Amino acid sequence: MKVNFKYLLTISLVTALGGLLFGFDISVISGTIPFLQDYFGLSETMKGWVVSSALIGCIFGASYAGRLGDFFGRKKVLMVVSILFGISALGSGWANSISAFVFYRILGGLAVGGASVLAPMYIAEVSPAEYRGRMVSLNQLTIVLGISMAYFSNYFLLALGENAWRWMFAAEAVPSIFFFFALFIVPESPRWLVAKNQSERAHSVLNRVGGTEFANFELGEIKESLTGDEKRGTLKDVFKKKYKLILFFGIFLAVFQQWSGINVIFFYAPDIFAKANLGVDAALFQTTLVGVMNIVFTILAMRVIDKMGRKKLMLIGAAGMVFCYIIIGYLFQIGRTDDWMLLTFIILTPAFFAFGLGPTVWVVLSEIFPNTIRGAAMSVATFSLWVACYILTLTFPILVELFSSAITFWIYSVICFIGFIVIFKYLPETKGVSLEKLEKILVKNKN
C-alpha cells in the first residue's frame, strides 16, 4: 500500500483546525480573569462560574455532536461548529453584561464540544492503521497550538489597556473564518458514506488516501462491520452489555484526562502565577512558556506514539504528573511560591500531560468504538470528559479557598496515581490495528 501522505496530512490538518479553535477558546479566558474581575466585580465563586460557564456548552455540544455527525455527516456539522466559534468570539468581546458574556461563552462551548467529538473521529476514520496515531495526534497538536495562540495573543494584546480583554476574545474570529472555508476541500468520512449507502464515494476517498488495493480492502472491512440490525447505532445501542468494556475504558479515560488537573494549569495559569507574587505582565509571560512546553512535548509524542504505543505514553505522563503535583503542593505548603522551583514544576506538568494523556486519550477514544456506534459512543465519552472538566474548573478556586493550594494539588496527585494503576492493569494497547479489527478484539471476544 502506498499512502498519499500529502493528501492525508492536508485533510487531517484542516479538520484538526477544529482542535486549534478548541484550544484557543478554552484558554483565552485565562488572560482575561483580572479584567473580568474588575469589570464585573466577581467574587471567587463567581469567578469559578464565569471561567467554567463555557464548559456547560461543551457538555451539550459533546452530547449531540456525534449523533448529528451520524445524521448529517462529520463535515457539515464541523462547518456549523466553525460558525459558532466566530459568533462566540465576537459576542464575548462585545458583551456589556455578565449574562450576555456567559451566553456567548456557552455558545463557544457548544462549538468546542462539537469539535472535540468530530475532529478526532473524522481523522481516525480516514487514516490507515499505521498512520492513525500520528494523524489523530495532530488534533492534540492543534489544541495545544490553540492554547499557545491564546496565551501569546493575550500577552501582546495586554498593551491595549483596560479593554484588552475584549480584543483577546474577538481575536478568535479570524481562525474560525479560515476553518470554515478550509473545510470545503475536505471530503466526507468514508465510513459515514458507507453507512449512508454511498459506497462509490467512500471508495473514491479511500482510493485517494491509499490507492486501489487499500480502498478495496478497507471498503470490505467497513461493509462487514456495518451489516445487520445495528447498521446505524443509537444511544441506546451504546449501553448494550457487549459494549460495556469499551464504554468503561472510554468514560474512564475521558474523566481521568480532566481530573488529572491539567486544565487548572491551562485555565488558571496566570492566577496561579499571581499567587506566586508575579505581576499581570510577568504572569502572562510565564503562561506563554506553559504553551511552548505543551507544543514541544506534543510533537515528541506524535513522533513516537505509533512506535511506543498509546499505553506506555499514558503511563509516563501520569507518573510525571504525580511527581510534579507532589512537589508543587509541597512548595505551596512551605511558602516557596516566589522562586524558580514552583515555576519550573508548573511548566513541567503540562509537558508530561502533552507527552502522555493529552494526545493518547483522544487517539484511543477515536479508535476503540465500533463503526456502528462510534458517533453516539464518542458523544457519551466526550460528554463525560466535559462534565469532568466543568467540575474540575468550577471547584479549583473553591478548593483552594476551603483548604489550600497545597492540598488541592496533592488531591490531583492522588487522582493521577489511581489513573496510572487502572491504565497499567486494564487498558489494552491499540497501536497498529485497524478500526474493524479493534472491534473484533474489544467487542466480539468480550461478550
Q: Which domain CATH number covers 112? A: 1.20.1250.20
Three cell numbers, residue 18: 477544529
Structural domain including 352 reads: 5-446
Rounded CA separation 330/125 (Å): 45
Query: What is residue 240's predicted lDDT score, i.e. its pLDDT?
Result: 85
Q: Burial level of 211, CB count in 10 A (0-12/13-18/19+)?
A: middle
Q: Are 12 and 189 in contact (CB under 8 A)?
A: no
From the number of C-beta atoms within 10 Å of its C-beta (0-12, 13-18, 19+), residue 204 rates as middle
* Per-residue confidence (pLDDT) for residue 91, from 0 to 100: 96
Residuewise pLDDT in 10s, the chain (447 residues) = 688 899 999 999 999 999 999 989 988 987 888 899 889 888 777 877 887 788 889 889 988 888 899 889 999 999 999 999 999 999 999 999 999 999 999 999 999 999 988 998 899 889 888 888 889 889 888 988 998 899 889 888 988 888 899 999 999 999 999 999 999 999 999 989 998 889 999 999 999 998 888 899 888 888 877 765 445 567 788 888 888 888 898 999 999 999 998 878 766 666 666 655 555 566 566 667 777 888 899 899 988 888 888 899 999 999 999 999 999 999 888 887 666 788 888 889 989 999 999 889 888 888 888 877 887 888 899 889 888 988 887 788 788 888 888 999 999 999 999 999 999 998 888 787 766 677 776 775 444
At 446, which helix (H) or strand (E)?
none
371 secondary structure, DSSP code: G
The number of beta carbons lying within 10 Å of the beta carbon of residue 229 is 8
Residue 427's Cβ-side half-sphere holds a number of Cα atoms within 13 Å equal to 26
Model confidence, pTM? 0.77
Between CA 393 and CA 109, with CA 414 as vertex, the angle to 5 degrees is 20
* Alpha helices (H) along 183-309: 190-195, 199-225, 235-238, 244-259, 262-275, 280-308
Number of domains observed in the structure of the chain: 1
Please tell me the predicted confidence (pLDDT) of residue 75: 95
